[in-house]
Amino acid sequence: MAMSLAFHIIFAALGIGMPLLMALAEGMYLHTRQPVYLELAKRWAKGTAILFAVGAVSGTVLSFELGLLWPKFMEHAGAIIGMPFSLEGFAFFTEAIFLGVYLYGWNRISPRAHWISGVVVAVSGIFSGIFVVTANAWMNAPAGFKMMGGQITDIDPVAAMLNPASFHEVLHMTLAALAATGFLVAAVHAFFLLRDRSNVFHRSALGIALALACISIPLQIISGDVSARAVAGLQPAKLAAMEGHYRTQTGAPLLIGGIPNDDAMETDYAVAIPRGLSFLMTHDVNAKVIGLEEFPRDQWPNVRVVHWSFNIMVGSGMAMLALAVWAGWLWWKHRCLPDHKWLLRALVAAGPLGFVAIETGWMVTEVGRQPWIIYGVMRTADAVTPMRGLVVTFSTLTALYIFLAVIVVFLLRRQFLETTRPDPARSTEATDA
């Protein structure tokens, strides 16, 4: 399951970001009437189509898998958080329909209607992301029901959907998808620009992708701050694990890196910024921050995994922020697309960073919630299917996902490579299809 989700989150994030880029490019075309933007919209639309088709397959698998692996979880949670899944189904459906219109309607509907259907694809993509994330948020901050002697009563699906963790998780994940897609796409086009600095196609592409990346990453850092403080309130054990913070103390230092040691209850060899954690959490350098010692040992998540993942995520985010500042500064100075050789090289290197941050961030939220599957309500071990030989299902599905990932990478690579040698036969085929 973890494996499938780890793959799905990549398809999903690209599935949120790519349609937006595609719609932006076509919008630029309608605005400027420069054919290069039209070519760009078509190219990105192909990428979107591949990701969507694979995303649809992996989404189908996931919807079954929830039940195949966690039947007890679904039995209890279905009535409470099935709602966002159903809404997600609709959003996804809308996306599928309008993607069909978009891909096959280039010559069949007016350019304006065509662009609007692209916008609908982008918007419904964002919405399906939002709905699914609220379900995950509910696992972290369960709301909208009461437990009476092991029985769930007073279900309120709306309250469950609008649980206290929804806002910051949705914000953080949506921005993450946009920033990660922006940086990945920017990296691809920066790579080609390094070879041929005057290629108009790649210059336009880099412009749009970089704008998306540079706008979303600073917002993302702010939403990260909001998220961390919300987690401190909702799941103090998770926060303590993220920070490698064992002992409750006032004026707590911020620990970066190091090796969390559960037995000694200390994080060894970490770089400590005095009073940093207290300041970040409450904006007061002397505030008290709760440590893991307040919680029974069997309710600790794996501190090392959570702390390290968290550090990697924040590190990646900061690196992307630095790049965005650099690019923004160059743009402000020269008033044109920043194409400094070293910036392009840095962008190529930073391409995967957004996805590194998404994967590690996802580890933080999932591993940080353990041993619970529904925080404070149901343990993961109680939710798993009674099916024996689960390892077979598990490894089969994992193999399938790896297979899917390989296919996507292979096809997208081919699509990207094609941009270097545009083939007139293929582009007319795409228009007529």
Partner 1 sequence: MLELIVAIFIVLALILYALLGGADFGGGMWDLLAFGPRAEKQREAIADAIGPIWEANHVWLILVIVLLFTGFPRAFASMMIALHIPLAAMLVGIVLRGSAFVFRKYDSKDDAVQRRWSTVFGVASFFTPFLQGLTLGALTTSRIRVADGAVTTGFFAGWLTPFALACGVFALGLFAFLAATFLTFDTKDRPELQEDFRQRALGSGLALAPVALAVFLASKHGAPEMYAGLTRWWAPVLLVWTSLFALVALVALYLRRFALARFAAIGQVTLILIGWSVAQYPNLITPDVTIANAAAPEITLRLLVRALGLGAIVLLPSLLYLFSIFKSDKRH
Q: For the chain, how many residues are written?
A: 433
Q: Which one of 238-246, 253-261, 347-355, 384-392 is the stretch in contact with partner 1 (CB under 8 A)?
A: 384-392
Distances in Å between the Cα of 326 and the Cα atoms of 71, 106, 204, 210, 214 are: 49, 38, 19, 12, 10
Site string for partner 1, 136-175 (x = CB under 8 A): -------------------xxxx-----------------
At 414, list the tokens. 């081919």
63 lies in the site for partner 1, by CB under 8 A: yes
Site string for partner 1, 101-140 (x = CB under 8 A): x-xxx-xxxx------------------------------
What is the C-alpha separation between 109 and 102, in angstroms, rounded? 9
What is the C-alpha separation between 104 and 108, in angstroms, rounded? 8
* Three-state helix/strand/coil letters over 200-251: HHHHHHHHHHHHHHHHHHHHHHHHHHHHHHHHHHHCHHHHHHHHCCCCCEEC
26 lies in the site for partner 1, by CB under 8 A: no
What is the C-alpha separation between 359 and 3, in angstroms, rounded? 11
Q: Which one of 81-89, 200-208, 210-218, 373-381 is the stretch in contact with partner 1 (CB under 8 A)?
A: 81-89
**Contact pick of 52, 192, 308, 375 for partner 1 (by CB under 8 A):** 52
Q: Which of 274, 239, 244, 278 is nearest to 259 (CA)?
A: 244
96 lies in the site for partner 1, by CB under 8 A: yes
Please tell me what DSSP assigns to residue 351: T
What is the C-alpha separation between 118 and 29, in angstroms, rounded? 13
**Contact pick of 35, 67, 274, 371 for partner 1 (by CB under 8 A):** 67
Nearer to partner 1, 1 or 346 (CB): 1
**Contact pick of 199, 385, 398, 427 for partner 1 (by CB under 8 A):** 385
The distance of closest approach from Cβ of residue 125 to partner 1 in the complex, given in angstroms and rounded to an integer, is 13
Query: How many of the chain's residues bind partner 1 (CB under 8 A)?
Result: 70
What is the C-alpha separation between 304 and 317, in angstroms, rounded? 20
Nearer to partner 1, 81 or 357 (CB): 81
Kindly list the residues in this chain that would bind partner 1 in the complex (CB under 8 A).
46, 49-50, 52-54, 56-61, 63-68, 71-72, 74-80, 82-83, 85-90, 92-94, 96-101, 103-105, 107-110, 155-158, 385-388, 393, 396-397, 400, 403-404, 407, 411, 414-415, 433
